[in-house]
Amino acid sequence: MIILGHSLIPYTPFYRIAAQEALSHTPSNAIVLFEFDAPLASYCFAQNVPFAMNVKNIQELMLGHALHASYFVVGKALVLQAQKIADDYLFDAKILLTSSDDNDIEFAALHGIDGILFADGIRE
């Protein structure tokens, strides 16, 4: 299981962006994170920039998959459905549960979630 942003485990942070222009302010090898945005995802894919998307529903998940997201960051309400779909459709992307609670590590592990992303794993 992937664990990002936990104080006990070394990790490479995600860099939150809101627009294409913000890419120039991130390290060249950074994984960028943004809310579902099809044009930004298409641009990142064309430029070989790995990206993670916050998705709020199954439609965004499926479209994000078609747009070649590397990671999907989802809340607890959607994570079980998202992981099942990712497994059923053999996504290359990983499903990450967003959390601020260490107890969610156990939840994610018991439910076969690809990983967990804590707030400290995101740079603004």
Question: Could you report the per-residue pLDDT of 51-103, keeping only the tens digit for each?
Answer: 999 999 999 999 999 999 999 999 999 999 999 999 999 999 999 999 999 99
Smallest Cα–Cα separation from 55: which of 63, 47, 45, 46? 63
Total domains in the fold of the chain: 1
Q: For the chain, what percent of residues have pLDDT higher than 70?
A: 100
Supply the CATH number for residue 68's domain. Answer: 3.20.20.70
Tell me if 83 is assigned to some domain: yes
Return phi, psi of residue 93, to 5°: -65, 155
Predicted pLDDT at 11: 96
Q: Is residue 97 domain-resident?
A: yes
Task: Give the integer Cα–Cα distance in Å for 115 and 99.
Answer: 11
Residue labelled with tokens 């603004």: 124
pTM, 2 dp: 0.96
E strands, the chain, are: 2-4, 14-16, 31-35, 51-54, 71-74, 94-99, 115-118, 122-123
